[in-house]
Structure 1
Amino acid sequence: MDKRSKIIIGLFFAVFLGIIITEIVKPRPLNWRPSYTQTDKIPFGCHILFKELGTLFPDSEIETVEESVYDFIYNLPEDYATSNYMLINGHVSLDQQETNKLLEYVAKGNTVFLAANSFSYFLADTLNITVESDYGLQEDTVKVSLTHPKFKKPFYFSRGYDKSHFTSVDTANTTVLGYVDYKTEDYLDVNKHNEHHEVNFIKTTFGKGAFYINTIPQAYTNYYLKQGNKDYIAQTFSYLKDDKLYWDNFKKAGRKVVSSPLRFVLNEEALKWAYYLVVSGLLLFMIFKAKREQRIIPIITPKENTSVSFARTVGALYYQNKDYTNLIQKKLNYFLAHLRSRYFMDTTVLDHKSIMVLSGKSGKSKEEIKELIDYINYLNKKTMHSEDDLVALNKKLTAFKQ
Structure 2
Amino acid sequence: MSKRIIIIVLAAAVVVLFLLLLLGIRHMASPVFDAAQDPRYQRQEIHYGNKNTRPYGGKVAFSLLDGYFNGRAPRRVTRPFSYTYRNSDNLKGNNAVYIAVATQLFLTDKDVEDMSAFVSAGNQLFLVVEGTDSLLQKTFGFRTTEPLYESEPSSAVQRFVNPAFSPDTVFSGKGIPMNSHLVLAESDTSIITILGNNARHQPNFFRVQHGEGQLFVLLNPMSWTNSWLLENNNVQALTWQMAYLRMHADHVYWDEFYKYQLMPRTSDNFSDMQVMLKHPPLKWALWLALLLVALYIFSESKRRQRIIPDRPVLRNNSIDFAETLGRLYYLHHNNANLAQKMVQHLLEYIRQHYFLNTAQIDAGFITGLARKSGFPREYVEGMMQMVMEVRTGAHVDDEYLHNLYNSIYQFYQNPK
In the superposition, the TM-score normalised over structure 2's length comes to: 0.52
Q: Mark the CA change 1:230 to 1:263 in structure 2 (over 3 Å): closer, same or farther.
A: closer
CA–CA separation in structure 1 for the residues paired with 2:171 and 2:74: 27
Is 1:89 aligned to residue 107 of structure 2? no
* Match of residue 219 from structure 2: 215
Compute the displacement of 1:130 (Å). 2.0
- Match of 1:178, as an amino acid? G
RMSD: 4.4
- Given that 2:40 and 2:54 are in contact with CA atoms closer than 8 Å, whether structure 1 keeps it comes out as yes
Match of 1:247 among 233, 236, 253: 253
CA–CA separation in structure 1 for the residues paired with 2:152 and 2:49: 27
* Match of residue 33 from structure 1: 45
Task: Give the secondary structure class of the aligned counterpart of 2:169.
Answer: coil
* Match of residue 180 from structure 2: 164
Instruction: Report how many aligned residue pairs link the two structures.
Output: 264
- List aligned pairs for 1:127-142, cutoff 5 A: 127-136=141-150, 138-142=152-156
- Structure 1 or 2, whichever has the larger Rg, is 1
Task: Give the secondary structure class of the aligned counterpart of 2:118.
Answer: helix
* Match of residue 133 from structure 2: 120
- Given that 1:109 and 1:208 are in contact with CA atoms closer than 8 Å, whether structure 2 keeps it comes out as yes
Compute the displacement of 1:112 (Å). 1.1
* Match of residue 69 from structure 1: 81
Q: Mark the CA change 1:294 to 1:259 in structure 2 (over 3 Å): closer, same or farther.
A: same
Q: Mark the CA change 1:138 to 1:33 in structure 2 (over 3 Å): closer, same or farther.
A: closer
- List aligned pairs for 1:146-295, cutoff 5 A: 146-149=160-163, 150-151=165-166, 152-168=168-184, 170-181=188-199, 196-228=200-232, 229-244=234-249, 245-253=251-259, 295=308
Task: Give the secondary structure class of the aligned counterpart of 1:164.
Answer: coil
- Given that 1:34 and 1:254 are in contact with CA atoms closer than 8 Å, whether structure 2 keeps it comes out as no
CA–CA separation in structure 1 for the residues paired with 2:153 and 2:315: 87
Is 1:50 aligned to residue 62 of structure 2? yes
CA–CA separation in structure 1 for the residues paired with 2:90 and 2:157: 42
The one-character-per-residue Cα deviations of 1:324-368 (angstroms, maximum 9, x if unpaired) are xxxxxxxxxxx9xx6996249xxxxxxxxxx9xx9543259xxxx
- Match of 1:247, as an amino acid? Y
Compute the displacement of 1:221 (Å). 1.7
- List aligned pairs for 1:277-356, cutoff 5 A: 295-298=308-311, 300-301=313-314, 342-343=355-356
- Given that 2:124 and 2:214 are in contact with CA atoms closer than 8 Å, whether structure 1 keeps it comes out as yes
Q: Mark the CA change 1:263 to 1:133 in structure 2 (over 3 Å): closer, same or farther.
A: closer
* Match of residue 387 from structure 1: none
CA–CA separation in structure 2 for the residues paired with 1:94 and 1:120: 7
Q: Mark the CA change 1:84 to 1:77 in structure 2 (over 3 Å): closer, same or farther.
A: closer
Match of 2:115 among 95, 98, 102: 102
Q: Mark the CA change 1:167 to 1:360 in structure 2 (over 3 Å): closer, same or farther.
A: same
Give aligned-pair identity as a percent: 16
- Match of 2:226, as an amino acid? N
Q: Mark the CA change 1:160 to 1:82 in structure 2 (over 3 Å): closer, same or farther.
A: same
In the superposition, the TM-score normalised over structure 1's length comes to: 0.54
* Match of residue 267 from structure 2: none
Compute the displacement of 1:204 (Å). 1.1
Compute the displacement of 1:36 (Å). 1.6
The one-character-per-residue Cα deviations of 1:90-147 (angstroms, maximum 9, x if unpaired) are 1122211111111111112211111100122210222231232334574442432111
Compute the displacement of 1:250 (Å). 3.1
Task: Give the secondary structure class of the aligned counterpart of 2:215.
Answer: strand
Query: Quick check: which one's helix share is greater?
Result: 2
CA–CA separation in structure 2 for the residues paired with 1:137 and 1:128: 27
* Match of residue 392 from structure 1: none
Structure 2 unaligned residues grouped into runs of 5+: 1-38, 262-269, 278-288, 319-347, 368-390, 393-416
CA–CA separation in structure 2 for the residues paired with 1:34 and 1:172: 35
Question: Which deviates further from its counterpart, 124-133 or 55-64?
Answer: 55-64
